[in-house]
Structure 1
Amino acid sequence: SPTRSEKFTFLCSICLDVFTDPVSTPCGHNFCKTCISQHWDMNQSCQCPMCKETFYTRPQLRVNTFISLFFFLSTEKLFITHEMDNEHGQWLCNFRQSLLKGIRK
């Protein structure tokens, strides 16, 4: 799972929580889709909360697939159990994957 510093990198600067549906602005900053949309709905201009770049038309937000994939991979847990195969007298390794929810939906 992400380290403390990595988690900080993956926090929305508006809600200060782990990204929900992470999107990127044209200036390259990342926010939760809902957070940046609501921020722009409440303000007269569409401005990046981080760098203050002003967009004269509301930008098309793009899903940040890197952040989404990072969270998916970092929350994938592999559980290994060992069982004795009574028929053959050997240990068997059973793999079971459990996906822990990394990005809130």
Structure 2
Amino acid sequence: DGVWDVLTNEEACNYVRRVMLLGETNMGLICEELLDYCLSLDSRDNMSAVLVVLEGARFGTGDGVLGIRKEREAAEEAKKRQQELVGQQEGQDPPQNMFTIAGSQ
């Protein structure tokens, strides 16, 4: 239920296909990544996943789940850094080179 609360069948299949095309061949890791993705979409129900690899399945080259997790960590670190910078600038006058966009203040 937890998977289908946040993804359609097609979206789940596309997500798994994407991970496979990124080079992941470990089905257990792909299932884990799918469930983690569903959790990130605020799924609250119980989840389980089973993948069956059919003959002729295509796998790409790349870092697979490890690559996805590295990208996610880098994005989280960038967001954290951005929040720190914004926090440091609160209460300060805007930079002299800042332009005002028409219609906003």
The answer to whether TM tops 0.5 is no
TM-score (norm 1): 0.28
Which TM-score applies when normalising by structure 2? 0.28
Q: Which has the higher strand share?
A: 1
* Structure with greater helix percent: 2
Higher RCO (CA < 8 A, seq sep 6+): 2
